[in-house]
């Protein structure tokens, strides 16, 4: 499916505004393909893709599917009765889910797949930037927007194609990686898997060698969860003496992680991150171990870590309002909430922390309610808008939102309710004090509020010029 010999192919992406599909669109545009796509909601990301040549429609319609298409690629959320899927079938045009299409795309390259319950996007980005710094010019499709990239995907001339591989729907089984990296294995997506044992089974299947010379890079927690189920060449990264790649931490600097990575057969690597969060140092150690395996020079790896600017929506500073500093974060699992809170405590000592947590899906909120309550109650103030859900009943959403609020209150921290996003800033205005830090947190449309803050300086500049 690679455009070669001057051939320019046309791909239509259903749900192009989603993080993975937007990154795929960027990759296709950068390698010279024609890209069209549709989504239901406008935003700065879609406008950016349009400026780089994508044709975007803010509606779904059969008329978007024409005989000029080489393939239609669709989000897993699109069902069989979607008008564009039906139109493609009527025209006998190839139609593939995002992960299936990306899996086919990576078979033309040396696939490097990054999986795990948490940390996938940051680790994928770090690894890509390490390979780029080493002159290996990788391609990449990630589940977010790296801050230092002009577009959320990359099309390189080198042999490596780095992808973020999600376990939901077992979609990561579409990849046949030469190097498979797993950050951690924890209970998640239980609406699909049912039990944690089935989550572990899926990761074991992902790590089954499917290409010659496959290498697995695992965090020590993932190695423990998958004990006895990973064959072949395995590198275990962690802080215990038994790890083949051992991270030795140094004292944080302003909340930013530092340490030394000792990998068997290599000189020690100095890892010094400019962004806060102990979890990011672990991600850097995993990425560095993989980068060494793929032939990146140690000096280039160290330089990439020092230059790393992070990923949007991962503890991203988005502006200030009325003396209050705002961050945006995608955290939607209790472990992620704990990591964000600790990073903010370390980087902003003595300051009050206010979390605006938009739960994601009523089923997830129910499955992890007690753990959510434990982690959220450790903030100084908690604001809870309604659960974000596109496929569950309003009654269920309201019931689970109130159940979470009650669970947090039972932990000794009475939350403030915001019925909708339009009420959040007013609620924060009543709760927050000058000098506080507020994090807008969740995997739903709460980022619309962060986007408003991101765009505020540009609007102010425009008003000054006018």
Percent of the chain with pLDDT strictly greater than 90: 88
Q: What share of the chain is helix, strand, coil (3-state, %, to 5)?
A: 40, 25, 40
How far is the first Cα of the chain from the last one, in angstroms, to the nearest whole number?
48
CA 409 from chain centre, in angstroms, equals 30
Mean pLDDT of 194-208: 96
Mean pLDDT of 212-237: 96
Q: Please tell me the CATH superfamily of domain 107-307, with its number.
A: Mur-like, catalytic domain (3.40.1190.10)
Rounded Cα–Cα distance for residues 213 and 234 (Å): 11
Spatial CA neighbour of 407 closest among 311, 334, 306, 323: 334
Report whether pLDDT(130) > 50: yes
Percent of the chain with pLDDT strictly greater than 70: 97
Report whether pLDDT(4) > 50: no
Report whether pLDDT(2) > 50: no
Residue for token pair 């393909």? 33
Q: Torsion over CA of 41, 42, 48 and 54, rounded to 10 degrees?
A: 70
DSSP 111-148: EEEEE-SS-HHHHHHHHHHHHHHTT---EEE-SS-BTT
Mean pLDDT of 34-58: 95
Per-residue model confidence (pLDDT) at position 466: 44
1-5, 104-108, 293-297: least confidently modelled range: 1-5
Rounded Cα–Cα distance for residues 296 and 130 (Å): 7
367-392 pLDDT, tens digit each:
999 999 999 999 999 999 999 998 78
Q: Are 139 and 109 in contact (CB under 8 A)?
A: yes
Per-residue model confidence (pLDDT) at position 76: 87
The answer to whether domain 107-307 and domain 316-465 are alike in fold is no
Among the four given CATH numbers 1.10.390.10, 3.40.50.300, 3.40.50.720, 3.30.70.120, the one describing domain 10-97: 3.40.50.720
Rounded Cα–Cα distance for residues 149 and 63 (Å): 33
Beta bridge partners of 382: 355
Beta bridge partners of 321: 324
Report whether pLDDT(464) > 50: no
Q: Please tell me the CATH superfamily of domain 316-465, with its number.
A: Mur ligase, C-terminal domain (3.90.190.20)
Per-residue model confidence (pLDDT) at position 72: 97
Alpha-carbon separation of residue 453 from 200, 324, 327, 431 (angstroms): 39, 12, 10, 18
241-272 pLDDT, tens digit each:
999 999 999 999 889 999 999 999 999 999 99
45-49, 79-83, 219-223: least confidently modelled range: 79-83
Rounded Cα–Cα distance for residues 140 and 156 (Å): 8
Report whether pLDDT(6) > 80: no
Rounded Cα–Cα distance for residues 314 and 327 (Å): 9
- What are the boundaries of each domain within the chain? 10-97, 107-307, 316-465
Per-residue model confidence (pLDDT) at position 420: 87
Per-residue model confidence (pLDDT) at position 456: 72
Report whether pLDDT(8) > 60: yes
Per-residue model confidence (pLDDT) at position 457: 57
């Amino acid at each position: 499916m690679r455009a070669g010999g001057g051939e320019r192919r046309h791909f239509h992406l259903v749900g192009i505004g989603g993080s993975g599909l937007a990154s795929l669109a960027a990759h296709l545009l950068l390698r010279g393909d024609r890209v069209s796509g549709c989504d239901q909601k406008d935003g700065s990301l879609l406008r950016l893709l349009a400026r780089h040549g994508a044709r975007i429609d803010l509606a779904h319609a059969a008329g978007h599917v024409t005989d000029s298409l080489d393939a239609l690629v669709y989000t897993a959320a699109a069902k069989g009765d979607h008008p564009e899927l039906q139109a493609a079938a009527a025209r006998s045009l190839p139609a593939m889910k995002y992960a299936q299409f990306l899996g086919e795309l990576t078979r033309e390259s040396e696939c490097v797949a990054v999986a795990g319950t948490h940390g996938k996007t940051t680790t994928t980005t770090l690894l890509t930037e390490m390979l780029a710094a080493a002159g290996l010019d990788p391609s990449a499709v990630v589940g977010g927007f790296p801050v230092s990239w002009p577009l959320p995907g990359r099309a390189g001339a080198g042999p490596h194609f780095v992808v973020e591989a999600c376990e939901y729907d077992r979609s990561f089984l579409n990849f046949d990686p030469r190097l498979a990296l797993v950050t951690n294995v924890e209970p998640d997506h239980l609406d699909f898997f049912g039990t944690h044992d089935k989550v572990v089974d899926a990761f074991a299947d992902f790590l089954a060698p499917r290409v010659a010379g496959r290498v697995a890079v695992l965090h020590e927690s993932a190695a423990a969860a998958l004990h006895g189920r990973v064959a072949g060449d395995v590198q275990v990264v962690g802080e215990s003496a038994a790890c083949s790649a051992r991270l030795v931490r140094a004292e944080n600097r302003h909340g930013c992680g530092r340490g030394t990575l000792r990998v068997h057969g290599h000189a020690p690597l100095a890892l010094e991150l400019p962004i806060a969060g102990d979890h990011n140092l672990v991600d850097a150690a995993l990425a560095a171990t993989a980068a060494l395996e793929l032939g990146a020079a140690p000096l280039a790896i160290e330089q990439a870590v020092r230059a790393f600017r992070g990923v949007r929506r991962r503890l991203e500073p988005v502006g200030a309002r009325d003396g209050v500093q705002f961050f945006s974060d995608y955290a939607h699992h209790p472990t992620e909430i704990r990591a964000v809170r600790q990073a903010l405590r370390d980087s902003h000592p003595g300051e009050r922390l206010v979390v605006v947590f938009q739960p994601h899906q009523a089923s997830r909120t129910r499955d992890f309610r007690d753990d959510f309550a434990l982690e959220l109650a450790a903030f100084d103030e908690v604001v809870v808008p309604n659960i974000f859900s596109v496929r569950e009943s309003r009654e269920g959403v309201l019931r689970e939102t109130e159940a979470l609020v009650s669970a947090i209150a039972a932990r000794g921290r009475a939350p403030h309710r915001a019925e909708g996003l339009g009420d959040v800033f007013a609620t924060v205005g009543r709760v927050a004090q000058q000098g506080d830090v507020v994090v807008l947190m969740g995997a739903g449309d709460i980022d619309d509020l962060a986007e408003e803050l991101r765009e505020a300086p540009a609007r102010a500049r425009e008003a000054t010029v006018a």
